[in-house]
Structure 1
Amino acid sequence: MTKQKAMNCLYHGSPTSPQPHFVLVPFLAQGHIIPIVDLSHILVDQGAFVTFVTTPLNASRIRHYIECARELQLPIRFVTLPINCSEVGLPEGSENLDTLTAGLKQFDAFLEACLQLRDPLISYLKEHGPPPNCVISDLCQPWTGDVARTFGIPRFSFVGFSAFSHLCRHIINSKNIYDKVTDDHQPVPLPGFPHPLEIPKTQSPLNFSISAGGVRYMIREEEPKVQGVIVNTFEEMEPLYVECFEKAIQKKVWTLGPMGLYNRNTKKPDTRGDKASIDIERCMNWLDGMQDQSVIFVSFGSLARIMPLQLIEIGLGLEASKKSFIWVMKSGPHNTEFEQWLIEERFEERTKDRGLIIRVWAPQSAILSHNAIGGFMTHCGWNSVIESISSGVPMITWPHFAEQFLNEILVVDILKIGVRIGVTSSVTWGSEKRDEVMVKRDDVERKVLELINEEGEGMKKRVKARELGTMAKKAMEEGGSSYQNIKLLIQEIQQQIPLVEVERANGLESLKVQN
């Protein structure tokens, strides 16, 4: 590396304003990795140096992003550390949550596997400069607290919840509100919430909880030690919940989103996820042939496992609605039966003039931002919700587990930009019942028609969604609330860099930056 390039890597502005070095550690799940990829773009464009920690499998999934970052000579270093899956009883290659064949039954072991990254990361950071100044890591990577303490630097936690869901989760955990509840379906009030709110246990984040093991204890122990919490939202959308969450945890809550809008604002290519299994140009050309706000987009994320009989009901409901649709479905053993049904019933041929099925991975952000999209049937994972909001698209909500029912409450009851499909209880991830149909074809047809409607409630929700989309874009533009928070976060870390480190940086001779 030349001296000039080293200077460019070290400083943003002048030598008296050192370039902060952020270590980013996402949880190893697709929905958690994507916003951290977005955050890395944001930080380096504002003058930071980033070390992005991943594993071989997950590095292969974001290889397009890695290649793009290197081609553009961005100050991002990708550190790929191996995991010994067999050591914790997992099959080799179980490096992402969506690779767990038994779902929730393997979750604890997966968290133990992630713990293996701690010591190798500490060793790597000791051996390779520049010295780290801040760790931003997922809530489910509590071992990163040890990394931060080793180098005497702050740690900020990040998890893909809204501020609303963060606040709900904090109250549920800190107050143990379900301890004496005998009926899991009984609505339970959340004490201290800023307005009346009742949530049954079946719709709480505890439906995706881990056992009372070592990693869970670490998570609870580490949460109060973080310097702040980063949330992929914007203040104008949920100011009450941001304020109340800050008061509840007595920490600064940094609203830096919607992070996914950053690529759009800077005109950077969207390389944050796996390669789409459909040519993006073909997909966009198909949408170009549709009327504005006439297409329903159907996608349930990377973890939800929908059984064949339920998939058939979705398909028949979409067909009966007579509305145009894009439907994303994952591959897997449980989908073989459904694929056979598609062939036997000639479903794709029957709906070819107004339906497009995408298998495995879709360019979701590009699809949602197209004018032809009029609604999004979603599992209510926060990435999907915030991307839909960013694009001004209303939603049909179909939560499955984790905090998704909380996101549904925010979307439908508070923001009023969605309609419920009608599910009332979570499913156990990895133990889905093959013959269970939670939503009938008539429900799918009715909700699609309710949302894709040129008047009435559907129109009101579309107008409200577009208003929120405009607010989201303004938050991420120069001078916007999230944009300003990004600058303030970087400044805060710069101010904490010890003087001796600044002097060391001025020397440059002993610095080794390896990409």
Structure 2
Amino acid sequence: MQAAAGNRPHAALLASPGMGHLIPVLELGKRLVTHHDIAVTIFVVATDAATTKSLLKSCPTANFSIVPLPAVDVSHHVDPSDHIVTKLLVMMRHSIPSLRSAISAMADPPTALIVDIFGTSTFPVADELGMLKYAFDTTTAWFLATTVYGSSAEDEVARHVNSRTPLVVPGCKPVRFEDTLDAYEAMGDRVFDEFQRVGVELATADGILVNTWEEMEGKTLEALRNRKALKDVVRAPVYPVGPLVRPSPPLKTNEPNDVVEWLDGQPDRSVIYVSFGSGGTLPRAQLAELAWGLELSGQRFVWVVRPPPVEDGDVSAAFFSLEEESGSQGPHRYLPEGFLSRTHDRGLVVPMWAPQAEILAHPAVGGFLSHCGWNSTLESLTNGVPMVVWPLYAEQKLNAALLAEELQVAVRPGYNNGGVVKREEIEEMVRRVMVAKEEEGKAMRERVMELKESGERALSRKLKGSSYSALAQVARELELNHQRVVAKARGA
């Protein structure tokens, strides 16, 4: 039997590998502690000590802890060519024994387990230990709806893939084949079966938290709650709790930063920030076209550049790599000859990494060319920055369709059957976002500011916003379960 619980509800949160998963889990944990008086322990799979240490700087000091789980070797269980989703899911399954042991050994055992969607295979641990179990979808409600519906409608998914017709998800915007999830496009491969399992496991949760908010995805959230649409498939209550993003540190700090100092010298909203995230890479030919497109646009830019992948099609090649480049091995090796010198007066090329949260919060930044990962997307929206969305893998094409077509706060490349996006199209997209005096650019800026403000209202404790209230409901469920556990322990 589990030990008696402590004085306050205690939740265990589990983050799968990758900053895109860890950051929203951390932000969720911080809000549970600071706004809802829930003690939190965050278990992290496959992160490095330096990353953990840096992230702890912004975390509460009381009732909050981060526990790295031992690294797992899955080299005998996956092939190097396996999809990144397969690798992540296998890693999470092989972390189950260490998670079970860590929770069982705690003096103040948690009474709830909250996992990101790659961790749903750990739900049996929650069942064994008498814990509530929640899933945390760190991306959109549309992704959640598609994933859970697809796991119950395999024939529909097969028709969608084989005939390249839209997947009609009840109550939601249909998913074009061109925007489909990687796992569906790979139907017949191992990743498809792995992903379908996630959809089945999600439906067994006691609740599903989503990093979105009512005002942004109201139609899809309603479909997830409506028995005539998806409620009988999803079953668990859905709680929009976003936008959860890492806070932007003060721009003026005692720690000098070359990028921020360069931005300080630029006019307001004059710079487009270009980054494909911590895991995204572009082939050499595409890097060259992007460089030419930025140069031709005539706009100021900050570009975070990663080396091209060894295999041209492997756009997620950098996902598990945190390696830095040395100065002698920098971007001049794979950018067009003379590009750095020709653009030195209006552009800044940064190898590997830059402080994205600070950059997007800077008044000089007026646009973001992004791979459309949901963390990056929310950081852009919550700073009122319109986007050029360039999806690479996972659910990013869904995100791009939502932003460009439904919300109209972004532009995206045309469908090109996997080919290279040409410099002329890149030039046009950058100018459409950055030239605010043109009607389209002005309208995008107005819409993104409306979204920014609605996100702030949703999270507001003072206003009891929709996302604050949804997380408060989860906290009440944790409190009730905590009381049951305490009463049971006393009766024993």
Once the two structures are superposed, what CA deviation does each residue of 1:217-272 show, in whole Å capped at 9, x if it has no partner? 653442221011111111111111111123312322111111116x35xxx789xx
Whole-Å separation in 2 of the counterparts to 1:280 and 1:414:
40
1:407 is aligned to 399
Q: Rate the CA distance shift 1:288–1:221 in 2: closer, same or farther, 3 A.
A: same
* Counterpart position of 1:462: 445
Residues 103 and 311 (structure 1 numbering): CA distance in 2 closer, same or farther, change over 3 Å?
farther
Letter of the structure 1 residue corresponding to residue 374 of structure 2 = W
Q: Give CA deviations for 1:276-332 in whole Å, capped at 9, x if unaligned.
A: xxx763322222221221111111122322111110110111011110011112246
Pair 1:227-2:206 in alignment: yes
Assess, with a 3 A threshold, how the Cα gap between structure 1 residues 414 and 87 changes in structure 2: closer, same or farther.
closer
Pairing 1:129–2:104 present: no
What letter matches 2:450 in structure 1? E
- What is the distance in 2 between the residues matched to 1:331 and 1:502? 57
Structure 2 residue 126 is matched with structure 1 residue 148: yes
2:245 maps to 1:260: yes
Query: 1:23 and 1:474 mapped to 2: Cα distance?
Result: 28
Would the aligned equivalents of 1:208 and 1:402 in 2 still touch at CA under 8 Å? Answer: no
Q: Which aligned pairs between 1:180-259 and structure 2 lie closer than 5 A?
A: 180=159, 183=162, 186-194=164-172, 197-200=174-177, 203-205=180-182, 206-207=184-185, 211=190, 216=195, 218-247=197-226, 248=230, 249-259=234-244
Answer with 470-479 or 494-503: which moved more. Answer: 494-503
Q: Once structures 1 and 2 are overlaid, which stretch shifts more, 53-62 or 152-161? A: 53-62
Written as runs of structure 1 = structure 2, the 5 A alignment for 1:68-83 is 69=59, 73-83=61-71
Distance 1:178 1:350, change over 3 A: same
- Cα drift, residue 32 of structure 1: 1.1
Once the two structures are TM-superposed, the CA of residue 149 in structure 1 deviates from its matched residue by: 0.4
- Judge conservation of contact 1:399–1:423 (CA < 8 Å) in 2: no
- The amino acid of 2:447's aligned partner reads K
Aligned partner of residue 141 in structure 1, secondary structure: helix
Q: Does 1:365 align with 2:357?
A: yes
Q: 1: CA distance between counterparts of 2:265 and 2:191?
A: 53
Alignment partner of 1:23: what SS?
A: strand
Query: What residue number does 2:140 align with?
Result: 162
- Worse-superposed segment, 209-218 or 131-140: 209-218
Among candidates 12, 15, 28, match of residue 23 of structure 1:
12
What residue is the counterpart of 2:41 in the other structure?
A: 51
Letter of the 2:429 counterpart: K
Question: In the aligned structure 2, how far is the partner of 1:87 from the partner of 1:61?
Answer: 23
2:348 to 350, 353, 356: 356
CA contact (8 A) 1:203 1:401 kept: no
**Which letter maps to 1:192?**
P
CA–CA distance in structure 2, aligned partners of residues 110 and 236 of structure 1: 31
Q: Could you tell me how far apart the structure 1 residues matched to 2:341 and 2:84 are?
A: 39
Alpha-carbon separation, structure 1, partners of 2:105 and 2:370: 44
Per-residue CA deviations over 1:189-224 (Å, capped at 9, x if unaligned) read 4152345x3511663342477617985565344222
- Does 1:283 find its partner at 2:259? yes
Asked if 1 retains the 8 angstrom alpha-carbon contact of 2:304 and 2:353, the reply is yes
Q: Say which SS state the counterpart of residue 74 (structure 1) adopts.
A: coil
Sort the Cα spacing of 1:269 and 1:331 in 2 relative to 1 into closer, same or farther, 3 A: farther
Distance 2:76 2:88 in 1: 8
Normalising by structure 2, we get a TM-score of 0.84
Paired residues, what number?
453
In the alignment, the residues of structure 2 paired with residue 464 and residue 106 of structure 1 have an alpha-carbon distance, to the nearest angstrom, of 34
Matches within 5 A, 1:284-433: 284-331=260-307, 334=310, 339-342=332-335, 345-425=337-417
Partners of 2:210 and 2:303 in 1: CA distance: 29
Structure 1 residues 497 and 452: alpha-carbon distance in aligned structure 2, compared to 1, 3 A threshold: same
2: distance between equivalents of 1:339 and 1:391?
31
Q: 1:345 to 1:187 in 2, by over 3 A?
A: same
Take 2:471 and 2:12, find their aligned partners in 1: how far apart are those partners? 16
CA distance in 2, matches of 1:395, 1:50: 34
* Partner in structure 1 of residue 51 of structure 2: 61
Report deviation, 1:341: 4.2
Query: Aligned letter for 1:21?
Result: H
Q: 2:157 aligns with which of 159, 166, 178?
A: 178
The C-alpha deviation readout for 1:393-416, integer Å capped at 9, x for no partner, is 111111122211111111111111
Aligned residue for 1:32, secondary structure, equals helix
Using the TM superposition, give the Cα deviation of residue 166 of structure 1 relative to its aligned residue in structure 2, in angstroms.
Answer: 2.0
1:312·1:338 contact (CA, 8 Å) conserved in 2? no
Does 2:76 match 1:88? Answer: yes
How far apart are the structure 2 equivalents of 1:164 and 1:106?
A: 21
Residues 1:503 and 1:226: Cα distance change in structure 2 (over 3 Å)? closer
* Whole-angstrom distance in 2 between the partners of 1:477 and 1:287: 30
User: Does residue 484 in structure 1 map to residue 469 in structure 2?
Assistant: yes
Given that residues 39 and 63 in structure 2 are in contact (C-alpha distance below 8 angstroms), is that contact kept between their aligned partners in structure 1? yes
Q: Distance in 1 between matches of 2:74 and 2:145?
A: 37
Contact 1:375 1:452 survives alignment (8 Å): yes
Q: CA deviation at 1:103?
A: 5.6
Structure 1's unaligned 5+ residue stretches are 1-8, 11-17, 91-99, 271-278, 428-436, 506-515
Equivalent position amino acid for 1:372 in 2: A
Report the 3-state secondary structure (helix = DSSP H, G, I; strand = E; otherwise coil) of the residue aligned with 2:295. Answer: helix
User: What is the rounded CA distance, in whole Å, between the counterparts of 1:241 and 1:106 in structure 2?
Assistant: 27
Shift of 1:173: 3.4
CA deviation after TM superposition for structure 1 residue 48, in Å: 1.5
Question: Which residue identity does 2:17 align to in structure 1?
Answer: L
Secondary structure in 2 matching 1:472: helix
CA RMSD between the two structures: 2.9
Q: Distance in 1 between matches of 2:413 and 2:97?
A: 46
Q: 1:31, 1:198 → 2: CA distance?
A: 23
**Amino acid aligned to 2:279:** L
Letter of the 1:199 partner, please give it: R
Structure 1 residue 441 corresponds to structure 2 residue 434? no
CA distance in 2, matches of 1:84, 1:237: 38
C-alpha distance in 2 between matches for 1:337 and 1:283? 17
Counterpart for residue 119 of structure 1: 97
Between the aligned partners of 2:76 and 2:414, the Cα distance in structure 1 is 38
Contact 1:280–1:363 (CA under 8 A) maintained in structure 2:
no
Query: Which one is further off, 306-315 or 326-335?
Result: 326-335
Shift of 1:68: 5.3
2:34 aligned with 1:41: no
Which is worse superposed, 316-325 or 150-159? 150-159
Q: Normalized against structure 1, the TM-score is what?
A: 0.80
Distance in 1 of aligned mates of 2:330 and 2:258 = 27
